[in-house]
Amino acid sequence: MKMTQLFFKTMRETPSDAEIISHQLMLRAGLIRKQAAGIYSFMPLGYRVLKKIEAIIREEMDAAGAQELIMPSLLPAESYRESGRWDAFGDEMFRLKDRNQRDFCLGPTHEEIFTETVRDYARSYRDLPLILYQIQTKYRDEIRPRFGVMRSREFVMKDAYSFDRDDDGLDVSYRAMDKAYRRIFDRLGLDYVVIDADTGTMGGSGSQEFTVKSEAGESEIVQCTECGYAASVEKAQCVAGAKAEAVDSMQPEYVATPNARTIAEVTAFLGCRDTDLAKTILYKADGKPVAAMVRGDREVNEAKLMSYLGCSSLEMADEESVTTITGAEVGFAGPVGLPVRIIADLEIEGSPRLIVGANRTGFHLKHVAPGRDFNAEYADIRIITGTDPCPRCGAALEFGRGIEAGHIFKLGTKYSESMGCIYLDETGTGHPMVMGCYGIGVNRTMAAIIEQHHDENGIIWPMSVAPYQAVIVPVNVLDEKQAEIADNIYSELQSRGVEVLLDDRNERAGVKFKDADLIGIPIRVNVGRKAAEGLVEFKLRHEDKARELPVDMAADVVLEAIKTART
């Protein structure tokens, strides 16, 4: 493609509403154009990248035995009513009516549609296993679309669904998808971690997220420095810690702590450490009061607590309820004699003696022994911190951020049961199919690649997804010799199958180099003054230095660089 004909426009200034690098660079390089909040067009250069990412996904999905199809985005409400999600989606679903006032939506995700399709076509155990996928546009009315295509309202997603006879079959499909995902993200040149997205199951295999490491990401993650354990901060497991050694036999004793309600106030007043204290927090779980206990230096992880309780709502108890339950003002709740269910963190069980609220305004109790002075259910209910060890091997953990680009998930029979997706076994007995679902956010993955592959001059595309592999830049197009040599190299590369740009614009060399760097073309060949002596310059985008080459070697060297990058 000659750049005089290429439909593109670059920008020197950083757009003021773009907060993260990938959003800034996609706009500056002219890859996308904003149509409305969270809605973008992909311009020719950007669309080439998107198609390359899709091609890699497609190749690996096909290689894993999945079959591609395409479903509509405009969907009737009935399918979602059947699963109960027509209501559950709430405002996130784009809804509309047809001319006959029938309800439709723009598909936010397609579990229902795949389930009913398979229900209609596959009836026998002989039809299974089955993995279907599509690469298709999804719609979600995000409350806060931002970060460009990272969190947008219309986006391309690869979604796949597996259908198996039983859990063992699902395991096989799930592993095949896991392997395909690793190959996809490797080929895209991404540095990623696969995090366990299950709560409370050690190394759980029911749900994993493929998270691209990036400070621009919205997920907070912890990663072991030794064994590869990785998890979201919200779900990372905390271990019990050391059990108490022999303890003293002191009995609980009231200690006056007037006006000291917070951990900081109590430690300052009593001159103790925050680890000597336990805080008792009252919640309402599905409307019923429960107490959660963590050490003074810890915080309750409400997601873990909800998962442990199996409740669907959890909120802090209001002041009035606290007073009614504890008989004291807020700030003095404690476990001794507390008339509600108490869930205490694993660390509490191992603590020898604790200072806790006395359920009496202005007082705390010291020398309180778990198990002797109060009873609780013990569970991992705290937020992991920098001082926690890896739950798998005990080594130190590192905290970071990441972009969730892919997710694989064992659905089980949730949809097949509610929607009657049944197969008949060898004896003619019906069973619900066991399902898995597997997603990759394609636009988001494109942004994630830029987050990991850029410098101050622009994008540095991995060869596998670059919009063009090489650009030939005649430094002065008005110089006939330069123009001719550049044109020859361009033609030769084209005939040898290279995706190549010729920057034949009558612009200053500096402008052309800046554009090539901003757009992120991996290989650049500069045809300048030395062309008359038979020399051109060869430069890789990710290297600082250019090197000189004889003109007749240029095409071979470019091809070699493409080949090397692919392996």
Smallest gap from Cβ 393 to Zn ion, in A, equals 3
The residues, any chain, with a CB within 8 Å of residue 538's CB and separated by 6 or more, are 523, 524, 525, 546, 547, 548, 549, 554, 557, 558
Smallest gap from Cβ 395 to Zn ion, in A, equals 5
Rounded alpha-carbon distances, angstroms, from residue 156 to 107, 214, 493: 12, 21, 32
Smallest gap from Cβ 223 to Zn ion, in A, equals 9
Strands (E), 333-418: 341-345, 354-357, 363-368, 377-379, 397-412
Contacts of residues 476-484 at CB distance under 8 Å and 24 or more positions apart, as own/partner, are 476/509, 476/528, 477/504, 477/505, 477/506, 478/506, 479/531, 481/531, 481/532, 482/527, 482/528, 482/531
* Helix locations, 271-338, DSSP H: 302-309, 319-326
CB of 390 or CB of 555, closer to Zn ion: 390
DSSP sequence for 445-490:
HHHHHHHHSEETTEE---TTT-SSSEEEEES-TTSHHHHHHHHHHH
Smallest gap from Cβ 389 to Zn ion, in A, equals 8
Residues recorded for the chain: 567
Smallest gap from Cβ 398 to Zn ion, in A, equals 11
Smallest gap from Cβ 391 to Zn ion, in A, equals 8
* Helix locations, 75-166, DSSP H: 77-83, 85-88, 111-121
Among candidate residues 270, 269, 310, 261, the one with its CA nearest the CA of residue 288 = 310
Smallest gap from Cβ 237 to Zn ion, in A, equals 11
Among candidate residues 412, 527, 552, the one with its CA nearest the CA of residue 476 = 527
CB of 72 or CB of 394, closer to Zn ion: 394
Residue 546's beta-bridge partner residues? 539
CB of 384 or CB of 536, closer to Zn ion: 384
Residue for token digits 């008949």?
424
CB of 224 or CB of 466, closer to Zn ion: 224
Interface residue list for Zn ion (CB under 5 A): 224, 226-227, 229, 390, 392-393, 395
- The single-letter DSSP state of residue 546 is E
Smallest gap from Cβ 222 to Zn ion, in A, equals 10
SS (H, E, C) 488-507: HHHHHHHHCCCCEEECCCCC
CB of 253 or CB of 398, closer to Zn ion: 398
In angstroms, rounded to a whole number, what is the distance separating the alpha carbons of residues 439 and 178?
Answer: 11
Smallest gap from Cβ 230 to Zn ion, in A, equals 9
Grouping H, G, I as helix, E, B as strand and the rest as coil, residue 222 is strand
* Sign of the alpha-carbon dihedral angle for 399, 403, 405, 408: positive
| Residue 360: HSE in the Cβ half-sphere, 13 Å Cα cutoff | 11
In angstroms, rounded to a whole number, what is the distance separating the alpha carbons of residues 246 and 159?
Answer: 56
Smallest gap from Cβ 512 to Zn ion, in A, equals 49
CB of 202 or CB of 264, closer to Zn ion: 202
Q: For the stretch 64-100, what's the b/e string if a residue is b when 16 or more beta carbons lie within 10 angstroms of its beta carbon?
A: bebeeeeeebebebebbebbebbeebeeebbeeeeee
Backbone angles phi, psi at 439, to 5 degrees: -120, 150
CB of 155 or CB of 229, closer to Zn ion: 229
CB of 239 or CB of 483, closer to Zn ion: 239
CB of 208 or CB of 326, closer to Zn ion: 208
CB of 35 or CB of 225, closer to Zn ion: 225
User: Phi/psi zone of residue 84: left (φ > 0), alpha (ψ -120 to 50 degrees), beta?
Assistant: left
CB of 222 or CB of 322, closer to Zn ion: 222
CB of 79 or CB of 237, closer to Zn ion: 237
In angstroms, rounded to a whole number, what is the distance separating the alpha carbons of residues 48 and 418?
Answer: 41
Smallest gap from Cβ 242 to Zn ion, in A, equals 18
Smallest gap from Cβ 383 to Zn ion, in A, equals 19
CB of 402 or CB of 458, closer to Zn ion: 402
Smallest gap from Cβ 95 to Zn ion, in A, equals 46
